[in-house]
Structure 1
Amino acid sequence: MSRDYSYLINTLGNWNFELSEHQIEQLDKYYELLIEKNKVMNLTAITEFDEVIVKHFADSLSICTVLPEDVNTVCDLGTGAGFPGIPMAIAYPNLQFTLIDSLNKRIKFLQEVVDAIGLTNVTLVHARAEEAGRDKKFREQFDLVVSRAVANIATLSEYCLPLVKVNGYFISFKSGDIDNEINESGKAINKLGGNLNKPILFSLPDTDISRSFLVINKEKNTPKAYPRKAGTPSKEPLK
């Protein structure tokens, strides 16, 4: 393999996590497919190999530092080009993943990736977040829901918590100053059946990129009124 994965390997080592040579080869094939498809379809603005390693692969797999042990089923909502879902599915072949996105072109691309790198633990779903949250196949069916989507935590919680089983988790990848966002979202999270833990702050090694995880425990069923109709959670976040 001509590309240098030492940053990723060393970073994961710092987090007491290890990928096999086969898993690194799967990530490398994913990188190739992503860059090739990105020439004809807008999947990511990050295309330089070194940046993809840090901002997509290492960032996605940083979840190894907070992943609860009692998780078997994972949903990546608003997966986009497959982050964090595809790297996670490569890293955790024993877990079952469902990746949901509202754009069918992205889902078709991800199906190409899943087929090409031989992932047998991934199901791909074309649906809006609000639709998925009301669908009996998905509502309160997952031990863990993750999202790197860019939205405030009140909006993301309305999208994601309806998918989480009681006693499961929603983990949101965040960056930047999140204090105000947290202060404004506590009541919304409680309305949806969740309880927000203290944020976990960290930096990606050898970079000035600061990140945080918001880990929300699902303590009770989400009321049937949520998620609200398409578009409403983003236009009128719960308070």
Structure 2
Amino acid sequence: MSDDEQFEIEPIFAAVLFEDRIDLARAYTERLAQDSDTFGLLGPRELAKIWSRHVINGALLAELVPEGATVADVGSGAGLPGIPMAIASPNSHFTLIEPMERRANWLIDVVRDLGLSNIDVVRMRAEDVERTDFDIVTARAVAALDKLLKLLTPLLRGSELKTVLAMKGSRALVEIEEATPGLKKLGYGEPEIITLGLGRAPETATVVRLRLQ
């Protein structure tokens, strides 16, 4: 992070959301800002929204994760949303799946340095992961929903919850419509669009939730 790049001041809601783990969230946010340019984690303009658009936004998904669930974060990149979710949900286990070596190594270092024992990092493409029993699979800015589900579905088939949480913005409804022909073929029920943080967070998170039947 260069001196002329604006870094967002921590919103009050961050302490409400992370509670007694706020120091971990702060440490992660500082590391993300510090290493962003070197590892290509976030665009420079995103540092002005690093808390509200990225860290808090990601942690809001933890509200949809039952305690004790196993979660795979596909295309984790900067650890979003996986690391904020894991900080906010310490009794669930998270696997960050990232194919790029330098980003995967960065994730490994951050997880180790922060002592996040409920996170594993796997440097691999999602389609090469052999495990099929994750309760929940998350993804953010990986691909359009129709292509994304083809990547995520094999990771869920052996679990009980069989749930996809795809972070989507204003195009959520459009992407659902485009993916509809393939949903039944893959075995999914009716998709839900969920808005998290409304009236509480600086920015809401829009999530498409789907469950395998």
Instruction: Name the TM tier (shorter chain).
Output: 0.7 to 0.9
Residue identity matched to 1:38: S
Which structure features the higher share of strand residues? Answer: 1
What is the identity percentage for the equivalent residue pairs of Structure 1 and Structure 2?
Answer: 30
Tell me whether 1:27 sits opposite 2:39 in the alignment: no
Q: Secondary structure at the match of 2:195?
A: strand
CA contact (8 A) 2:71 2:94 kept: yes
The aligned counterpart of 2:4 is none
Q: Secondary structure at the match of 2:192?
A: coil
The aligned counterpart of 1:212 is 206
Residue identity matched to 2:19: L
The aligned counterpart of 1:161 is 153
CA contact (8 A) 2:68 2:91 kept: no
Q: For 2:105, which of 100, 104, 108 is the aligned residue?
A: 108
The aligned counterpart of 2:60 is 62
- Distance in 2, Cα, partners of 1:70 & 1:117: 21
Q: Secondary structure at the match of 1:194?
A: coil
- Distance in 1, Cα, partners of 2:95 & 2:29: 20
Going from structure 1 to structure 2, the CA distance change for 1:118 and 1:151 (only over 3 Å counts) comes to same
Residue identity matched to 2:169: S
CA contact (8 A) 1:75 1:98 kept: yes
Going from structure 1 to structure 2, the CA distance change for 1:217 and 1:116 (only over 3 Å counts) comes to same
Mind listing any 5+ residue stretches in structure 1 that lack a counterpart? 13-17, 220-239
Q: For 1:95, which of 92, 110, 121 is the aligned residue?
A: 92
Number of equivalenced pairs: 203
Q: Secondary structure at the match of 1:195?
A: coil
Larger mean Cα displacement after TM superposition, 97-106 or 147-156: 147-156
Post-superposition, which runs of at least 4 consecutive aligned residues in structure 1 deviate over 3 A? 46-50, 201-211
- Distance in 1, Cα, partners of 2:171 & 2:184: 22
Going from structure 1 to structure 2, the CA distance change for 1:206 and 1:168 (only over 3 Å counts) comes to closer
C-alpha offsets along residues 152-175 of structure 1, whole Å, 9 cap, x if unaligned? 111111111111125421110100
- Distance in 1, Cα, partners of 2:171 & 2:202: 14
The aligned counterpart of 1:146 is 138
The aligned counterpart of 1:82 is 79
Q: TM-score, normalised by structure 1?
A: 0.76
Deviation at 1:34, TM superposition (A): 1.6
Considering only CA atoms, is the larger Rg found in Structure 1 or Structure 2?
1
Larger mean Cα displacement after TM superposition, 193-202 or 52-61: 193-202
CA contact (8 A) 1:71 1:144 kept: no
Q: Secondary structure at the match of 2:151?
A: helix
Q: Secondary structure at the match of 1:97?
A: strand
- Distance in 1, Cα, partners of 2:93 & 2:196: 27
CA contact (8 A) 1:104 1:126 kept: yes
Residue identity matched to 1:89: A
- Distance in 1, Cα, partners of 2:38 & 2:65: 38
Q: TM-score, normalised by structure 2?
A: 0.84
- Distance in 1, Cα, partners of 2:30 & 2:45: 10
- Distance in 2, Cα, partners of 1:187 & 1:70: 33
Tell me whether 1:6 sits opposite 2:12 in the alignment: yes
